[in-house]
Structures are given as C-alpha cells and as structure tokens.
Amino acid sequence: MKKAVRMAVAAGMCAALALSAGCQKKTVADDEVQRYAWPLATASPEDTVTQIYAEKFAEEVEELSDGKMKIQVYPNGTIGGDRELLESCKDGDIPFVIQNTAPQVTFMPDLAVFDIPCRFSTIDEVREKVDDPEFYGLLEDVYENGGYKLLGYADQGFRVMSTNKMVESLADFKGQKIRTMENSYHMDFWKKLKASPTPMSFSEVYIGLQQGTIDAQENPYEVIVSNKLYEQQDYVVETNHLPHLISLIVSDEFFQDLPEDKQAILVEAAEIAKEEARQASDDRIADKIKVIEDSGTQIVTLSDELRAEIREAVQPVYDEIEKNVDKKLYNAYMK
C-alpha cells in the first residue's frame, strides 16, 4: 500500500508541474521557485467542507508566497483512505492531510478526548475550546509526538442521529441498530443508551438503511445530505453528541525542514482557511436542514431534560476516556 501511495504521489507531482514541462532534477534556479505542487490529500468527497478547507488553504499558500509555494488537492480517497493517508503523511510521502479526528485515535490515543460525548451545547463553544491556547498547545504536543504538525481545526458542526423512530425519551433509543464508526468510545456511548451499535463500512450505510439491516446512523448534516441518507429515514434527531472536527496536519519532518518564512506562510494560510471553512460549515448546515425538511423528514430537537438524562447515562464513557488520555489534556478539555 505504501509503495502504491508513493507511486501515486510521484505521478501526481509530475502531473501538477506549474512552472516546468516535466519532472526534472533540482538545479540552482529551482531553489528560488518551487517546480511542482505538494500534495494535500483527503478521503472526503469534493462537495464537502473538507474540500473547501483544503482548496482555501492551497489558494492562500500560493498567494502568500507569490506563487513560489503550490499545493495540489487530491480528494475522495484518490491516493488512500484515512489510515493510509496518516501513515504516508508521517513518512513524509504526502506532506498535507485533512481529515476527521476519529481515525487518528488509533495512532494518537490521546485524541480520544474528542470522543467525550455531550460536552458542548453549541459549536461556538467547541471552537472556543480548540482555539484556546492552553488546550491547543497540549494538542500540538500530541501531534508532534505522533510525527505531525497540527495547523488547526475546522468542523462540520455536530454529529446527529438519523432514524425511523421518533426519539422523545431515553427509552426510545433502546434496541435501535445504529451504524457507528469502528471506535470503541463511540460504540460505548450508544450502548449506554441501550441502543445496538453496529460498525459498518460507510459505503454500505445507504443500502443498510434501505434493506433494514440497520435502523439508524449518526453523522454530521453535511454527510447525511451529501449521501442522501435522509431518503431512508423519517427523523433526524439533534443528539449533537460529538463535534465533527476536521484537522489540517502536515508531516512534522517536512515542516521542520522548511525555512522559517515558509513555515510562517503555512501557519497563516491555515488560519485563514480555518475561518472560511467554519463559516462555510455554518452556512451549509442551514441549507442541509432545509433539504431534509423539504423532503418530509422531520428534524427533532431534544429537550434540555432529555439531554441531561443522556449525559448522566453515558457518564461511564467519560470515566473510561479519563483513564486513557493524558490527564492535563482531559482536564483542559473539561475545564
């Protein structure tokens, strides 16, 4: 797999030459102007906030460097899935990756802090937390120890539940076969609500809902609409149980080898791209909700009382994560 990724990246670099007719050996003149585009890869489709984030970052890098630094975006798993991209980024084969934090827990267990459920009431609270210098500094250490440089977080709002059963009480979760990612903390959350979490490849979710293999699934609005999952569901329940954060990372070895002025350009471009992606997420969520409502699928907002009951029921998940992540990181997230 690594060899295939390297070959794909090499081919992509040659195809993306901006100022030269082909791949060629480095010359003195090449020190002044970059001769190819560095790859930035995602496993997400093109019509997503992830793509907006990636394209804006690439655009700002080129503009801030007066065209001397170029980045080529490869979306939709073109050169690998989440795991492959993480491995290739660490090795420096793919300098830049944008992805959700969930698959990163396997490589950096402390990122399970983001799997603490029902921690925030609004997405603005989430953004304030991840931007907090103390908390962000601890996260930078986690990524650096993993072999990456963290450049920031955008998001796609919260993850919500879609289902064919109205949810008005804690008892309504019981027995529902809900598709989750293969993440033990995500599964434990639904188990504590007496639901039946079922890990499944995302490519199988629509058919699973259609055929009744599963009753429900959970994802941000962006994913529910772009994959038309609402067509097979009667309700979208605003559980808002987890923020769907999107990280922009770069190989730490690659980053540290760059001159300071180029490092500064990447950091500044990432900050601009982050803000644009967040605004795009807010705008798109409103549009996605309208699409769902126009289809006849009902949006369900949970009462404050039910939210409190959910938090109480899933407290053991908090305790488990607290045992398994860095104490300073956990406390900073919960503060």
pTM for this entry: 0.88
pLDDT tens track for 233-291: 999 999 999 999 999 999 999 999 999 999 999 999 999 999 999 999 999 999 999 99
| Distance of alpha carbon 74 from alpha carbon 161, whole angstroms | 29
Average pLDDT of the segment spanning 31-41: 78
pLDDT tens track for 194-213: 999 999 988 899 999 999 99
pLDDT tens track for 168-196: 999 999 999 999 988 899 999 999 999 99
- CA proximity to 98, closest of 244, 221, 199, 226: 244
Average pLDDT of the segment spanning 65-72: 96
Q: What share of the chain is helix, strand, coil (3-state, %, to 5)?
A: 55, 20, 25
CATH homologous superfamily of 2-327:
Bacterial extracellular solute-binding protein, family 7 (3.40.190.170)
Average pLDDT of the segment spanning 137-154: 98
**What does the domain layout of the chain look like in residue ranges?**
2-327
pLDDT band at 32 (very low <50, low <70, confident <90, very high): low
Tokens representing residue 191 in the block: 């188990």
Average pLDDT of the segment spanning 147-173: 98
The CA-atom distances, in angstroms, between 284 and each of 9, 42, 48, 289 are 31, 19, 9, 9
pLDDT of res. 6:
52
| Distance of alpha carbon 154 from alpha carbon 248, whole angstroms | 8
pLDDT at 2 over 60: no
pLDDT of res. 202:
87
Provide the percentage of residues in the chain whose pLDDT is more than 70: 90
- Asked if residue 131 lies in contact with residue 125, where contact means CB atoms within 8 angstroms, the answer is no
pLDDT tens track for 300-314: 999 999 999 999 999
Q: Mean of the per-residue pLDDT values for the chain? A: 91
In this predicted model, which residue has the larger pLDDT, 183 or 29? Answer: 183
Average pLDDT of the segment spanning 211-218: 97
Find residue 242's DSSP bridge partners. 159
* Residues 226-232: contacts with CB under 8 Å, at least 24 apart: 226/45, 226/47, 226/48, 229/162, 229/205, 230/162, 230/291, 230/292, 230/295, 230/297, 231/295, 232/206
Provide the percentage of residues in the chain whose pLDDT is more than 90: 86
pLDDT band at 107 (very low <50, low <70, confident <90, very high): very high
